[in-house]
Amino acid sequence: KQEVTQIPAALSVPEGENLVLNCSFTDSAIYNLQWFRQDPGKGLTSLLLIQSSQREQTSGRLNASLDKSSGRSTLYIAASQPGDSATYLCAGRTSYDKVIFGPGTSLSVIP
């Protein structure tokens, strides 16, 4: 059964730091991977989508990469801001055509 882990589960950093969030699938056969953020009590907001033909995507201070051979993805946040505080989730489309989410990383950026 495909499982997803996200490391760390929680992270607290001072404002301005660069940080990396990790997402790992037990079955490395991932076709697409999407990163989301979720604010408390809200739905999910799409941040970046890495399609099957791509290896990374960038949007502003965010950069996501996908290593299909290992089934691992990283989300890099540069110059973190208090407004970045949220839970970050990764979701992958597997070779079995399933969409599976990780449990999320709770990020707190301290002013």
Residues lying near another protein in the complex (CB under 8 A): 4, 31-32, 34, 36, 41-46, 49, 51-53, 89, 91, 93, 95, 97-104
Q: How far apart are CA 53 and CA 18, in angstroms?
A: 27
- Nearer CB in complex with another protein: 34/80: 34
In whole angstroms, how close is the CB of 16 to another protein at the nearest point? 28
Least separation in angstroms between CB 25 and another protein: 13
Question: Which residue's structure tokens are 């969030």?
Answer: 21
- Cβ atoms 32, 93 nearer than 8 A: yes
Q: How far is the CB of 15 from another protein (least distance, A)?
A: 25
Residue closest to 28 by CA, chosen among 69, 82, 77: 69
